[in-house]
Amino acid sequence: MGMIRHNVGTTADLMTPQGLLRFSQLLDTLEQDSDCHLLLFEGLGHGRDVGPVVKLDVDIYRKWEQLFDRVRQLPVATIALVDGRCTGLHLELALVVDASIAVEGSTFEIPEIRMGYLPGMSIFRLAKQVGLGAARRLLLKGETWSATSAVNNGLIDEMCEPSQAQQRIVGISQQLTAENITAVRMGRRLLEESFSTSYEDGLGHFFAAQHRCFSVIALSHFGSSTVQEELR
């Protein structure tokens, strides 16, 4: 299984044009690399704290949201490893990956509100992931969650000791990586659509997604000349 490990850098670095470009180039590579099946984001929680806004530029949030949307559409499974104080764009990234692990002692918080501005689209994703009440406590009341609280509230998937991190990455990657990566992509999309799509529309989306999965299976096993016959 091909895996790419990417150290995301500090939250301050990510807010620079160079940080945006570096992340975009990573996604360019993954969108074209058929040999990679797993992307591991490392370094979440490392680096400088979120601070006051130096430049009032809404456009950088628009650009990052476009990049996060590309992460959600990647043809690979994605994991985030948190080790430290997770805020800002690090927290945003932890909310868009397929699975997240926190090293024991890590913390999670959203300090932007207290500084007079909004975080990114974590406002939108947080309540869907942890529930409105828990999201309100983290966002508006400024609670700091330990790794244990983050797991209990559903913000991240699991916590481990530092010495176990690599072992857990391997274990989760084996759970996430399917023979047919299309199934992972379709499952990811249907889960997200379930919050805003009616059952009737969701049913149609499911049948279309399932047909696509079966098409890929038939193509890999029988070749293009027999795909349509196998799906009848």
Give pLDDT tens digits for 71-105.
998 888 899 999 999 999 999 999 999 999 999 99
pLDDT confidence of 56, banded at 50, 70, 90? low
pLDDT confidence of 180, banded at 50, 70, 90? low
Residues 15 and 114 in one domain: yes
Whole-prediction pTM: 0.82
CATH label of the domain that carries residue 61: 3.90.226.10
Residues 67 and 171 in one domain: yes
Residues 185 and 171 in one domain: no
Residues 137 and 191 in one domain: no
Per residue in 121-150, pLDDT tens? 888 889 889 999 999 999 999 999 999 999
Per residue in 38-52, pLDDT tens? 899 999 987 555 555
Residues 13 and 79 in one domain: yes
Residues 92 and 187 in one domain: no
Residues 79 and 194 in one domain: no
Sole residue written with tokens 């990455």? 169
Residues 153 and 185 in one domain: no
Residues 132 and 38 in one domain: yes
Sole residue written with tokens 């591991």? 40
- Domain of residue 219: give its range: 181-231
92: Cα separation from own chain's centroid: 8
What average pLDDT does the segment 164-169 reach? 92
223: Cα separation from own chain's centroid: 33
120: tokens are 């990114």
